[in-house]
Every structure is written in C-alpha cells, then in structure tokens.
Amino acid sequence: MVSKQEIECQDSVTEDLTRYVRYKRRLRKGSKVQLLNNGREGFPAMLQAIQEAESFIHIGSYIWRGDDVGWRFAETLCKKSRQGVIVRAVYDAVGCFDVDPLIFETMEVEGVQVVEYRPLKPWRPRWGLLRRNHRKILVVDNKVAFVGGLNLSMQHESKENGGENWRDAHVRFEGPAVNDLNRLFLNVWEKGKHTRRRLPRRPVVAAVQPANQSVSILSSNRFQRDIRTSYLHAIRQAHKSIWISNAYFVPDLRIRKALYQAAKRGADIRIILPSVSDIKMVAWAVRHLYGRLIKNGVRLFEWQGSMLHCKTAVIDDVWSTVGSSNLDHLSLRSNLEVNILVLDRTFGREVKDNFEKDLENCREFTLRDWQERSWWQRLRSWFFYGLRWIL
C-alpha cells in the first residue's frame, strides 16, 4: 500500500516538472516515446509502421524527393492503398518545387489521396512563397505517430545506403497525443482538398501501458505561436542547463534575453549549429549574433561534417522537444510547424546524451574567433541579418 508521504512526494515531483510547461492542459499522460537518430533509425521505423497499417495512414512532408527514399515510401503507400488502407498524403509546393511530379501522380493513380499545400499558382488568390507547411507527420491507425526533422529525401539517408547522412532527429510515440497530431494533419488536408465536409476525428487513444511519459503536441502558424511561447516559458524556468541543437538559429530579441537571464542564473547554455549550411544566407545571418550570445554566457558549437538539421532542445534534463521548428522568424511566426514536447527525465537524459555525443564532432566558436572575422565576413553577416524576416 502506498503511504501518504509517498503520494505527496509523487505529487510534488509532478508539480515540479509541470512548471516548465506553458500549456499544462495539453499534456497527455500515459505515452510511450522513442527517440530516433537520423534516417538510419527513422526511415525503417516509419516504413515498418506503414506496413503494419490496418485502417489509415496520414503522412506529410515538407520535402518529398523523387529519389530512392521518396520512392521507397511512395511504393509502400501504394501497396497499402491497394490492400484497402486509406492513405492521405500532403507535400509542400515550395519544398517540392523541383521534384518530378511523377511520384505524386503515381500515388494518385494507386488510390493515394494527395494534397499539394499552397500550389505556386500566381493567378490564384492568396498564393505566395511564404507560409509553407514545414511539418513532417506520420500517423498510422491513430495508434502510432512520428514527428521530427526528417524529410523524405536521400539527404537524410545513411552513407552506407548512398545518402548524405544529415544529422537529424525524429520521434516515434504512442498514446493519447497521437490523436492531437492526427487532428493537425486533417485540418491541413481538408483545406487542401477545399472540402467543407469534415472527416471524423478519431476518439482519443487509450494510454499505453505501462508507459508513463507525459507529452504535448505543439504547433505553429502565422496566427498561433505555441512553439515559441513554450520555448520562452521553459527557458525562463531553467536553472541548471539549456542545450539546443538547431539547424537555422536566428532567435528574436525576447528569446535571446531569456537565454541571457538564464545564464545569469547560472544555467549552462550550449547551442550546436551547423558549420556548413544548405541555406548559406541563414548561416551568415546568425553569425551576426555570435558575439552578443557569447558575451552573455551562451556557448556556441559548430557541427563539423555533414549538414546538421536537428531541431531539438533539453532544459534541466526534464523538458525536451523534437520537431520541425527552427528557431528563426519563418518557423516561429509564419510556417506551419509541429514539435513534440516530452516532460520526462529519462527521455531528457537520452536527448542530453545524444547532445554530448554530437559535441565530440563539434568545434567551439569563441569570442576570439568572432573578433578575428574579416571585414567581408562582418559585412555579409550584417547584411543578411537584416533580411532575417524572410530567411
């Protein structure tokens, strides 16, 4: 029999953890979460879930290449569609602007219901290059779901399989939050289909036993900024450590000030950034901030080698997030994004362990490095930082 003192202790621990969470009512208890590193772990897990589908598959990707990875997923989805499984897919028009449409046409012929998000058609009202669907979502039978930074592209595949081996993170999870992610997907899919008939939202999934992790689905668009608000709240609660790994890191003033205040409280703040970026203008822009960040107690590390595409963070070993959202203007204020928030010490330590392993492949950028920049590097960073609102 559990004593009164044990119950009070458990309650105090739970309350201590939830102080890191801005939207407490959205926390879903009884979840099971698995961290997946790179395409080496992420792609096989996703394909296995698709192959085991019995009712429906909902999948969305910002980039869906017509390469080996893209076709591997497309062919598996087509096979499940032929077996009678309902398959709905969403891809972004800008993310896939240079992709051969054959891959999507093939899926449609096989019965996959495909939606192109915000097509690039200037003659249509309210079209535009911005406000993209940057989410990476997979929901299977409302029982298992995936979210993270992996696009369906050989860029994320391992070198052994002919890919570029980008460093990234994805999450597989089960439990009540799966339904929250499914609703996000359906909201976008229905708008893309221009239908007024709303598809039935599945009942909330029962908690997975004996899982005990608490998670929350965070989303962002131009009207809703839950990811940014959640980051700010957790950073302001931090007293021990804030470790962030982010591909496109151009934080606004409020986030920077929150980091500076946390450093003054004694928090160990470390940020891993790519040394070589696929979007060079963003890398040049963030370097304009390096000096301010370092002077205010933020340690910066640049990933060496392949592109770092992660969007992860762990605060005080308790609050963790993995998803599609970068810490820049487009992700936090414009694009459709989705992250999973995990409030769990075990998962937090796992994210932190991965961070420490990544540090072994990083070089710390010091204040001296920043001061020794050439005049051309200074001018370039200043110029592109001024364009941060559209990068």
Distance in angstroms (rounded) separating the CA atoms of residues 114 and 65: 15
Closest to 195 measured CA to CA, from 183, 207, 187? 187
Return the SS3 of 196.
Answer: coil
- Catalytic residue flag (residue 136): yes
Six token digits for residue 194: 């221009």
Catalytic-labelled residue, pool 309, 317, 329, 344: 309
DSSP 8-state symbol, 64: B
The angle subtended at Cα 261 by Cα 23 and Cα 287, nearest 5°, is: 100
- Catalytic residue flag (residue 141): yes
Do 37 and 169 touch, CB atoms closer than 8 A? yes
268 forms beta bridges with 241
Burial class (CB in 10 A: 0-12, 13-18, 19+), 37: middle
Catalytic-labelled residue, pool 141, 226, 317, 328: 141
Catalytic-labelled residue, pool 80, 134, 143, 329: 134
- Catalytic residue flag (residue 316): yes
Q: b/e per residue, 41-80, with b = 16+ CB within 10 A?
A: bbbebbbebbeebeebbbbbbbbbbbbebbeebbebbbeb
Catalytic-labelled residue, pool 180, 316, 344, 358: 316
- Tell whether the torsion through CA atoms of 274, 280, 281 and 287 is positive or negative: positive
The torsion of the CA quartet 80, 167, 390, 138, rounded to 10 degrees, works out to: 20
**Residue type for 381, please?**
S
Distance in angstroms (rounded) separating the CA atoms of residues 187 and 305: 38
341: Cβ contacts below 8 Å, ≥ 6 apart: 21, 215, 216, 217, 218, 230, 319, 320, 321
Catalytic-labelled residue, pool 58, 80, 136, 170: 136
Six token digits for residue 90: 């969403």
**Residue type for 301, please?**
F
What are the catalytic residues? 134, 136, 141, 309, 311, 316
